[in-house]
Amino acid sequence: MKLDVIFDPVGLPTSEVAGRVVFVVDVLRATTVMCTALHQGARGIVPVSSTEEAMRVAQALGTEDVLLSGERNGLPIPGFALGNSPLEMTEGVVKGKSLVMTTTNGTKALLATQGAAEVYIAAAVNVSVAGVRARELLELNEDLVILCSGREGNFGLDDAYTAGRLAVLALGGRRIRKGLNDAALVAVDLVRRYGNRWERPLSLSAAGRHLRAIGFSSDVLYAAHEDQHPVLPVYRDRRITLSPLP
Amino acid sequence: MKLDVIFDPVGLPTSEVAGRVVFVVDVLRATTVMCTALHQGARGIVPVSSTEEAMRVAQALGTEDVLLSGERNGLPIPGFALGNSPLEMTEGVVKGKSLVMTTTNGTKALLATQGAAEVYIAAAVNVSVAGVRARELLELNEDLVILCSGREGNFGLDDAYTAGRLAVLALGGRRIRKGLNDAALVAVDLVRRYGNRWERPLSLSAAGRHLRAIGFSSDVLYAAHEDQHPVLPVYRDRRITLSPLP
């Protein structure tokens, strides 16, 4: 039984995820947005790596039920229907739609999971549901990876803290120090350091500071609102949909 | 004034180090070995990325005063005079010699510093000296980077803790939260978490556990021995030599 945390997907060898169950975290904001959109009734989300690919996929899917969404440097992409703010993902806008989504960091993390046994989406808004599934898997002796999206290839405090919260739930008080990698040890320590308050690490993080600077303070508050979307999105066959709850 | 910690050099854009002063950390064991060898009288160390390059450089330098050193997966390289253990770097062996050195992680970090204004070598064995220099530089309003070597592209607790110790010394009690990146915030937290005892984070780390498993427990203890080699190695023109003490 192993529980590894990876702080950023850059240079991640496929052997690290091959055959393992991966939880992808990009709390500010991609995985928060995904949970929100699916909970508000979106049919599915296709993560892609570029705006060009987004347009190609949208055309292939047929445009009526498809919404292009995403960001570059946190800002909406010209011509796209939606940005990367969870506040945009209202039922009226997303219900019954498929989203084609491209973001700076979260998408890269998802695309780095090739070969994984299963890939789930986690954020503060669904952390307890994700934690229940992670705990079940550890009890079945599965190896887990919590993959942080990080920030342009660097460590992000926001995702590391989220990984810590998820790890603590997965462990459920068990001590498996030998089964944790160095990053998992530190992620769990961050929970001791910051306690249960999401606002602090999210606001302190470079991602949080950047969002505040470009006018998205309310997104940071939204992302810090624990368990408001108790869903478990799963990434399978290049598409994210809702998985039955654990 | 900025103080950034980078947890691993994989995918590091040159813009992150360009024109800045970098402290490279690979406490288990490359930077510990470098400080030890230079303090014991080695004339210089040339870090190279492969065994083939090591042999080519050794031949170009002339073989008499040159010692090949390094490791792969922690173990000595067949045919090389020295491995990567600080215990091998005695005065009798290294005095007056040039070392050509290749290691799994530390060398990669050094080679990733291209374009930096200056590159220093730091470990527990010289942390106070490195800390004095770092503090002087922050007082001169320089931007600093502490670059951890990590472990095969992943986060290493041993280097992150060392980075934290160095950052605490550099800051000298000043609070420049806005000048610290997310990794620096966490590295400083690790010092709060583990206190001043090097043994704990070094032994807990994957690198420390691996060294113990392959019979190098005494290297971990050696690397945890603070300030036993009060030198400040500098990497310049592809060669590491002693810098005058700050």
**Angle at alpha carbon of residue A120, lines to A116 and A126, rounded to 5°:** 165
Residues of chain A under the 70 pLDDT cut: 63, 177
What's residue B13's pLDDT? 84
Contact B193 A193 (CB under 8 A): yes
**Backbone φ, ψ for residue B162 (5° rounding):** -60, -45
A157 vs B158, B186, B193: nearest CB: B186
Which helix (H) or strand (E) covers residue A52, if one does? helix A51-61
Q: Do A190 and B185 count as a contact with CB atoms less than 8 A apart?
A: no
For residue B192, say if its preceding peptide bond is cis, omega within 30 degrees of 0: no
Kind and range of the H or E run holding A148: strand A144-148
Determine which helix (DSSP H) or strand (DSSP E) holds B71, and give its type and residue range. strand B66-72
CA-based nearest residue in chain B for residue A157: B182
Interface touch B7/A155, C-beta < 8 Å? yes
Q: Which token pair is B198?
A: 């090097």
Torsion of the alpha carbons at A128, A132, A133 and A136, rounded to the nearest 10: 160
Q: At the fourth CATH level, which superfamily is domain B3-236?
A: ComB-like (3.90.1560.10)
| Beta strands A232-236 and A239-243, pairing class | antiparallel
**Chain B residues with CB within 8 Å of chain A CB:** 5-7, 10-13, 151, 153-158, 160, 177, 181-183, 185-186, 189-190, 192-193, 204-206
The model carries a pTM of 0.94
Chain A partners within 8 Å of B193 (Cβ): 189, 192-193
Beta-sheet strand order (sheet of B3-6): B3-6, B144-148, B21-25, B118-122, B232-236, B239-243, B44-47, B98-102, B66-72, B75-76
Type and span of the H or E element at B106: helix B106-111
> Is B154's CB within 8 Å of A6's CB?
yes
What is the model's pLDDT at position A177? 64
CB contact (8 A) between residue A7 and residue B11:
no
Q: What is the pLDDT of residue A174?
A: 79
Residuewise pLDDT in 10s, chain B (246 residues) = 899 999 999 888 888 899 999 999 999 999 999 999 999 999 999 999 999 999 999 999 886 899 999 999 889 999 999 999 999 999 999 999 999 999 988 888 999 999 999 999 999 999 999 999 999 999 999 999 999 999 888 899 999 999 999 999 999 977 776 789 999 999 999 999 999 999 999 999 999 999 999 999 999 999 999 999 999 999 999 999 999 877
On whether the CB atoms of residues A184 and A16 are closer than 8 A, the answer is: no
**Measured between CA atoms, how close is A208 to chain B, in angstroms?**
11
Contact across the interface for B154 and A182, Cβ inside 8 Å: yes
- B60 Cβ partners below 8 Å, 6+ apart? none
Check B189 against A193: CB less than 8 A apart.
yes
Do residue A154 and residue B6 have CB atoms under 8 angstroms apart? Answer: yes
Q: A205–B189: do the CB atoms touch at under 8 Å? A: no
List strand residue ranges (DSSP E) for B150-245, in order.
232-236, 239-243
The fold for domain A3-239 equals putative 2-phosphosulfolactate phosphatase (3.90.1560)
Chain B residues within 8 A of A153 when measuring between CB atoms? 11-13
Return the domain boundaries, chain A: 3-239
CA distance A135 to chain B (A): 24
pLDDT of A153 reads: 81
State the best of A5, A27, A155, A205 to mutate against chain B, taking most chain B CBs within 10 Å. A155
Classified as helix, coil or strand, A33 is helix
CB A104 within 8 A of CB A71: yes
